[in-house]
Amino acid sequence: MGVTSTNSDSILGPPSGNVPELVTAPWREHYPENVPTHLGYPARAAWCLLKRAAEESPERVACWHLGESWTYSSLWSRAQAAATRFTALGIRPGHRVTVLLPNMPEFLVALNGAWLAGATVVAASPLMVPGEVGRLLSTTRSRLLVTLDVLAGLVPEDETAPDTVLAVSMRNRLSRLQGVGYALARLLKFRLGRPSGPTRWLDWDDSLSGTPTRNHMSGTAVGAAVGFDRGLDPGHGFEPGRPAMILPTGGTTGVPRSVVLTHGNLVANAWQLYHWAGRRTAEDTLLAVLPFFHSYGLTTCALAGTAMQATIVMHHRFQVGKVLDLFAQHRPTIFPAVPAMLVALNDRLRDGSGHVVRGLEMCISGGAGLPADVAAEFSHHSGAVVVEGYGLSEAGPVTHAGPLDGTARPGTIGLPLPDTLARVVDIEDRSRILPPGETGQLLVRGPQVMAGYLDASEATDEVLVDGWLATGDIASCDEDGFFTIVDRLKDLIITSGFNVYPLEVEEALREHPAVADAAVVGVPDPVRGERVKAFLALVPGADYDEPTLQDFLTHRLSRHKRPRDIEVVDGDLPRNFLGKVLRRELREC
């Protein structure tokens, strides 16, 4: 059973009162011995995580990227310089700063610098197209954009353009040959010159070079520059409800929304994960290939890594060979991942290529369901404890995780984190709480749950009632408090009055030796309401015919669950960067 902690281990102060009242919950009996059941949460800004790390571990390597390393002291100094520069460019408390960067140290500098200046950070994805970037800048009314120079083509040149763009480069971290290719790409992106339009373009390094930090400025000057006189510093009564991040998401309803997470949400979730990992300080190396522009990578890698004072080894995208090289070079102890990454790593580790993973102690997988065989194989190759977690952007994002003491139960998303409540309710009536073993919608409540959707009060009220967030996921909970995700509510297929969960059908389809991958959706049917349709990616060269597959399914699925339509696709099924199948695209086929 876990222990109880009534303070935050001096992170930044006493409990702020923003956690739900604890109720009798069976999962608390199954916490690892070193994990508290209750934490104190500081009423502090999210940048205090970096400040604390710089004070306690100034010379520890904070991050590594493409051969360059930064200490926590240098990272903190650069964040202060960025805050000063942002303020000089007109950023004031309450303004929005959009960060359009891959994983690199400048992301952490821009993130904390904007927070120090009192701004709210808008996360933009390098995978966006120009129209999406323009809409995001417009809807969030961002005044400043920090982006990679080779992403200049994503910056709009119309009325949605920001006032100022700070262009970051990674050319000096590349080899000579890579640098030439990078320079050519940058030249093409800038169309042989700076983009036209009203936006002012500035070089990031030039702008921050020589910018005084708090330690080098007089008292009143620094207060005016970076907001230390505006209640952002510890001891000045900072309100944890102040917005910190705006994250574009599909929303629990599937309608594009932007989630607003407060400083309190971010600090709480980072602190929960820090304790879930065993409250290890300045001992770990964390491999960060999950993108920081997504809530999963932001919290589990950037923020929780900073709370742990870990060395964060960054790479700007997942490449199997490169990741294995990073494993060999840095021997990370923690690896937040998605199942697709583990599948790819397993394939390479078993192919006799000589790659090995040593030193890894824990791997938490999220973003999609983790097959038990994939987890077991990666654990075999790496020696790490591999567990599944769960979350959504609307909840910081992490709400559940498997215990890291070896007691995790395969196939489940584990237990609610400290101070996180969860319940399974009737799909039609959220007020009716279902007993263990029954299936319904998962609701969660905790200090990491969002403030709401940006400029969408009705949508917020639909999913957030009395502090309980309706996740849109169908789940069950056993008597010990271990939760299992069954499917997405919006993906539920109702055919002839029967509920069909696509994940169950997909698992059965993948058991067939000719099927490499499968996705199942519901399509309109005039008689049944919906019928089950499957999309299959086949194993190259496999012997396949539909009647044989249907006979195979007869022994595995009830009649109403078996696909009435089957379509074989060329190549792979469409997936997002987290490995989730894009069922919406398949429905539109």
pLDDT at 106: 97
Which contacts (CB < 8 Å, 24+ apart) does range 507-515 have? 508/553, 508/556, 508/557, 509/534, 509/536, 509/549, 509/553, 509/563, 511/552, 511/556, 512/549, 512/552, 513/539, 513/542, 514/538, 514/539, 514/542, 514/543, 514/544, 514/549, 515/539, 515/544, 515/549
Residue 576's pLDDT is: 79
- Beta strands 385-391 and 398-401, pairing class: antiparallel
Q: Write the DSSP assignment of 422-491 as a string of letters.
A: EEEE-SS-TTSBPPTT--EEEEEESTTS-SEETT-HHHHHHHEETTEEEEEEEEEE-TTS-EEEEEEGGG
Instruction: Identify which of 343, 339, 362 has the alpha carbon closest to the alpha carbon of residue 273.
Output: 362
Residue 336: the pLDDT is 97
Amino acid residing at 265: N
* CB atoms inside a 10 Å sphere around CB 412: 24
Query: Tens digits of per-residue pLDDT, 417-426?
Result: 999 999 999 9
pLDDT of residue 254: 54
Phi/psi for 513 (5° steps) reads -60, -20
pLDDT recorded at residue 56: 96
Pick out the chain residues at pLDDT < 50.
1-22, 192, 214-237
Rounded CA gap, 296 and 261, in Å?
A: 13
Q: For the range 524-527, what are the long-range contacts, defined as Cβ-Cβ under 8 Å and sequence gap of 24 or more?
A: 525/495, 527/496
Sign of CA dihedral 252, 256, 271, 64: positive
Would you say 261 and 244 are in contact if contact means Cβ atoms under 8 Å apart? yes
Q: Which helix (H) or strand (E) holds 347?
A: helix 339-349
Which amino acid is it at 454?
L
CB atoms within 10 A of CB 165: 22
411 Ramachandran zone, left/alpha/beta (phi>0; psi -120 to 50): left
Q: Is 59 exposed, middle or buried (0-12, 13-18, 19+ CB in 10 A)?
A: exposed
Q: Which helix (H) or strand (E) is 51 found in, with range?
A: helix 48-56
Total-model pTM: 0.83
Task: Walk me through the domains of the chain, giving residue ranges and CATH numbers.
Answer: 26-43+243-488 (3.40.50.12780), 70-226 (3.40.50.980), 492-587 (3.30.300.30)
Of the candidates 346, 329, 341, the one whose C-alpha atom is nearest the C-alpha of residue 285 is 329
The answer to whether the CB of 424 falls within 8 A of the CB of 476 is yes
What's the confidence (pLDDT) of residue 213?
Answer: 56
Identify any residues that bridge with 465 across adjacent strands, giving them in sequence order.
Answer: 468
pLDDT at residue number 219: 32
